[in-house]
Each structure stands twice: as C-alpha cells, then as structure tokens.
Structure 1
Amino acid sequence: MNQHLSAVSKPPIICIMGPTASGKTDLAFKLCDVLPCDIISVDSALIYKGMDIGSAKPTADELSQYPHRLVDIIDPADSYSAADFVRDAKKEIADIQSKGRIPLLVGGTMMYFKSLLEGISPLPKADADIRAQIETEAAEHGWQYIHQLLAQVDPVSAERIHPNDPQRLTRALEVYRISGKTMTQLTATKGQGLEGNIVQFAIAPTERSELHQRIELRYDIMLEQGFEQEVENLIKRGDLTDDLPSIRCVGYRQMWQYLHGEYDRDEMVFRGVCATRQLAKRQLTWLRSWPNLTWLTTNDDNNLDRVLEVINESNKL
C-alpha cells in the first residue's frame, strides 16, 4: 500500500478529531501526502453550499489538491441529520475501501463521529407539519411551555435540554408525537456501529489560551476574506431564516443578527469569537471522555510520525 505502512493486513479507518482551529485539516493534508488517503469531512457546517468563509472550508485550491467528500452537498435551506451523515459516510467509506485506499475522517462535529462509530438510534424522520404545530404552540405560549410539555412525557430529555434550546426541544417533542415513544426510549436502542480497524486521534493545543488566540486570528481572517458579504448574499436569497440549522452555525448567526441591525460590528465580532470559544469548549468536553483516543498537540512537528506509528501498531494487532 505504501512504504509508510509496515503491515497491510488490516487497512485502517483513520479519524482525526479536535476543537475548531486546532489544526485538524493541516494534519490531514500531511497524512494524505504520505498515505493513500481520501478525506471524508465530519463537519456539520461544511456540508452547506455557499457557506465557505464562515465555516473555514478549505479553499478551492486545497479541495482540488485534497478532495473532501461530504462537502458542499446540500443547500442551506435544507436539513441534514446525524442519521443522514451516518448513511452517507458509510457509503463513502465503502467506496474508498473498494479502491484500496484509506478513509480519513476529519472534523469537529462530535455527534457525527459518535453516531457513526457507535451506531445511531432509530429515530423517526422530521415531520414538517408536527414541527410547525410545535412552533405555533411556542409562539403562543413560549418555549418554557414546550419544555413543560416535554417534561410530562420525557422527563429525562427535559432534564438534559435547556428551556432556551428550541431546536432540541422541538426535536424531542416531535419524536414523541410521531412515534408515541420518547427520545429516551428510542436512544436506548443503538444501530450498527462502524466496524474495522479504526484508529482515532484528537489534536488540540496544550493551553486553552493558545486555542483562544487561534480562534480570534481565524475570525479576523474570515472577516478579511469577505465573511460579511457571504452572509449578505445568503440574506438576499430571501428564503433563509435564522432558525435554520445552517444559519445557526457558529459565526453565521452572529453575522446574520448584525446585518439585521440587532447590534453593532464590534459586538458581532465579540459574540462571534465567544460563540466559537464555547463551541471549542463543548468539543473538548466530548473528547475528554472519548475512548481509544491518541492525543496530539497542535503545531508539534512530531505529529505525523506519531500518527504513522500508531497506525502501524494497529495493523499488527
């Protein structure tokens, strides 16, 4: 397969996880330079067409040199669930393996990784009519009322979901109204997880302050690259709203609200950076309890050698 793999009996599936702005993509590119890897994006923002700058999507040149699967696959007006990702990712993994190459899954959407690796619960698909009904009830009575309705039928989910989280509240109540079973009951049943020689890495700076600096720098670069114009173009379409998952993506929501006059530019930058920091914190919280991870440090020159070493060890097992 390649001189950098000492054994080929069990070609691996490689996962590179980490918080936003930690260096996942750069490491993936280096790995592609020495191994026959094909990248699968594990990122809930990169799936959207026309959302390039604010999602830190690789450039056109980078995508040409290092093609990514599951990038630019849906319109921002459309929905895409973890179940959709699992279906698509498994299909791409099988296609890559059929060509004798190595699937390299890279990203920071931890729910996607978890659903793929562990299997996803058999939850019903979204129902537009039921969602509209729930949103009408929320408009009349408030989201606290929706939270109380959920607590009556699924107290476990109600305990987990904040009253000010309309997206998850809607989904949990929707699941119950569609199926007659609670989210708690259905998530107790797992589907088929990913099988094979799976090698998992997480990359992050050792100091949180360094990650914060990288996030601020990236946000500044996005603004210089035309992030504001990108969101203006989304607004001009006329069919998008700020309650869509696409516009709720970190950075986009803050820019959207700024462009609608909800606060000034300085406040937009502050809120955007803070929201990105909070995302990174949630990602790190997921990763700290993640099993079977090899940790790497951002900007460590030995990262590539360490990854190759771990992959070779996994092939010997």
Structure 2
Amino acid sequence: MGPTASGKTDLALYLAEHLPCELVSVDSALVYRGMDIGTAKPDADTLARFPHHLIDILDPAEAYSAARFCSDAQSLISDIHARGRIPLLVGGTMMYFKALSDGLASMPPADPAIRAGIEAIAVTEGWQAVHGRLAEVDPQAAERIHPNDPQRIQRAYEVYLLSGISLTDWHLRQASEKALGQTPGSSFLPYTMRYLSIAPVERQILHQRIAQRFELMMQQGLVEEVQALYSRSDLHAGLPSIRAVGYRQIWDYLEGKLSRDEAVEKGVIATRQLAKRQLTWLRGWKAEIEWFDSLDPKRFDQALKALEPATI
C-alpha cells in the first residue's frame, strides 16, 4: 500500500521477481480499459512479464465498487492459494483494502468531492436531471424520493457513486445482517494478511514526485487519451471513471472550463490531496504496517526480508 507516486509498483515487481507471487491490483482506476497514461498503468511489456489481476477488466462507462472488488479479490486469493502461490495485492485505493480486510461498512460516509460533482450536475442540468440519473441506478429510491427533495436525491445518488451499490440494496443488506446477527464491518477472510507500505519520509519529496509525474503524463499524451474518452457519446463527467484524479481536470479543459495550465495545476493539487487522504488512511490503519522509505536504496531487500517464507 502507499500514496500515489510512492513507488508501489516497482516494489511489487521486485517482490514478484523473488517470490512465487501473483499480483492483484487494488486500484479503482486501473480496472478501466483505455485509461493508461493518467492511471500510471504498467506498460504492456511489464504486464506481459508480470501479469496483474483486475487491470483492464471494465469499460469506462461501467461502475466498479468496493463490494465487487471484495468479491473479485476473494475469488482470486482463493485461486492463487490453490496454485500454491502468494497473492500480492498492490495499489492505493484504501477503501478497497479496508473493505477486504475488515468487511464492508454498513453505509459509505459522505464524500465532499462526490457531493460537489452532484451539485455541479444540478447547477447545469437541474435536480430533476439528477433525480433521473438516480432512477436509472435505484428506481425504488427515486420512487420514494420526491424530485424536489435535493438533499435526499443527493445522498441516494452519492451512495451509489461511492459504492456501486444502490441505497435500496444497502438497506436490504443491513436488514439481512441484522436478521443473521452479523456485525457490519467484521472480517470474513480466512487468511493472515501482511501489510507493507511505501512512502517518502519527507512529504515535500512526494509533492515533487507527483508534479513531475503529472508533467510526464502530459508529455506522454494524457490530453489525447482523455480526448478519446470525451469523444464518446456514452461517457460523461459524472461517471466514476471520468471523476478519477487527472481525468476530471483534463475533461474540464476539453469542455473549455479550464485552460491547459489550469488543468495541470488543478490536476497536481487534486493528486496531492489524494495522497494526503491515502496517508491518513494508512496512519489510522488498525493492523500493524511495515513502512519503507521510497528513497531508501535498501527498501527492496528490506521488504523481501519482511516476507521471508518463514514469516508468511
């Protein structure tokens, strides 16, 4: 685990080179096909040498969720163990890690960024349009909620965008857990999980790496990559794929809402904010985490030693 631009992939590839590992991506953006540059997806040669599960499994028009990730990851972990190998999960989507290790929370908390996105849709299209989008993903909730009740419309649509699960299904799940006497958030994984995290000791170093990587993405053709998505009639700014950091800023540039320089600046700022949230998740992690400095030349051997067969 670790914040964006911290060197997770390089460390994972080193471990996979020295241990009988299979890599499982834990990233809510890498699941999408055609989103390669802005997600820092490993290149084709790397993926050929080190195949990653859960990369390029969805079209950007589709939604992925923590619940679906847990289902996919649990099946993969079981299959990998059956092959006598070690599942090595790598990525920065902390909600997925937490959902897998602790179980799904009873209801996703409010997310300011998601709410801002919904409000932006309401400003440009009206709350009736947001209510219509809610009706597409949760018709039962849309029937219950009046089209002139923006607060409840926002929350119901927010829950779906955050989790990929409708508010109606959340309520059904809660009722089922209560009937079975289960405690939401409990873990059902029959495995011992080891947590490794990599990050620069100095936050300023991370900020520099984020800025440098975003500039490199621009040079590699990020605008053209987003342009290909923008030209599709079935994609819009409200989709989880387009809300990914970097993509939504370039999308705004293509819509004429930002200049190119403003899009880059806002993309870097948004990426730094993401890294800050990731570090907050990690510092609050309940299980023990072994930390490695992104700039320590010994980090690869240290991580390998931490995962010696006798310790797994």
TM-score bracket, shorter-length normalisation: 0.7 to 0.9
For 2:125, the equivalent position in structure 1 comes to none
State the one-letter code of the partner of 1:273.
Answer: V
SS at 2:193 equivalent: strand
> Which one of the candidate residues 197, 211, 231 is aligned to 2:226?
231
> For the aligned residues, what is the CA RMSD?
3.2
> Which one of the candidate residues 287, 300, 305 is aligned to 1:304?
300
Separation in structure 2 between the aligned mates of residue 27 and residue 87 of structure 1, nearest angstrom? 26
Cα-to-partner distance string for 1:142-184 (whole Å, 9 max, x where unaligned): 4x5646x88xxxxxxxxxxxxxxx634876995258737879x
Displacement of 1:129? 4.9
1:167 aligns with 2:158: yes
| Preserved CA contact (<8 Å) 1:40 1:104 | yes
State the one-letter code of the partner of 2:226.
Answer: V
| Preserved CA contact (<8 Å) 1:53 1:222 | yes
| Preserved CA contact (<8 Å) 2:210 2:268 | yes
Cα-to-partner distance string for 1:223-251 (whole Å, 9 max, x where unaligned): 11111011110011110010000100001
Separation in structure 2 between the aligned mates of residue 271 and residue 138 of structure 1, nearest angstrom? 36
* Structure 1 segment 127-276 matched on structure 2, within 5 A: 128-130=136-138, 134=142, 140=148, 142=150, 144=151, 146=153, 167-168=158-159, 174-175=166-167, 179=171, 189-190=184-185, 192-276=187-271
Displacement of 1:29? 0.9
| Preserved CA contact (<8 Å) 1:175 1:181 | no
> Which one of the candidate residues 26, 42, 56 is aligned to 1:58?
42
Q: Greater shift after overlay, 258-267 or 128-137?
A: 128-137
Separation in structure 2 between the aligned mates of residue 215 and residue 48 of structure 1, nearest angstrom? 21
State the one-letter code of the partner of 2:171.
Answer: S
For 1:315, the equivalent position in structure 2 comes to 310
After superposition, the Cα gap between the structure-2 partners of 1:170 and 1:63, relative to the gap in structure 1 and judged at 3 Å, is closer
Separation in structure 2 between the aligned mates of residue 268 and residue 306 of structure 1, nearest angstrom? 39
Paired positions, count: 281
Displacement of 1:41? 0.2
State the one-letter code of the partner of 2:250.
Answer: M
For 2:130, the equivalent position in structure 1 comes to none
After superposition, the Cα gap between the structure-2 partners of 1:140 and 1:230, relative to the gap in structure 1 and judged at 3 Å, is farther
State the one-letter code of the partner of 1:225.
Answer: Q
| Preserved CA contact (<8 Å) 1:131 1:174 | no
Identity %, equivalent residues: 47
SS at 2:56 equivalent: coil
| Preserved CA contact (<8 Å) 2:141 2:168 | no
| Preserved CA contact (<8 Å) 1:41 1:68 | yes
1:99 aligns with 2:83: yes
1:90 aligns with 2:86: no
After superposition, the Cα gap between the structure-2 partners of 1:47 and 1:94, relative to the gap in structure 1 and judged at 3 Å, is same
| Preserved CA contact (<8 Å) 1:39 1:105 | yes
Separation in structure 2 between the aligned mates of residue 178 and residue 20 of structure 1, nearest angstrom? 30
Displacement of 1:283? 0.2
Separation in structure 2 between the aligned mates of residue 268 and residue 234 of structure 1, nearest angstrom? 17
After superposition, the Cα gap between the structure-2 partners of 1:209 and 1:135, relative to the gap in structure 1 and judged at 3 Å, is farther
**Structure 1: runs of 5 or more not aligned:** 1-16, 151-165
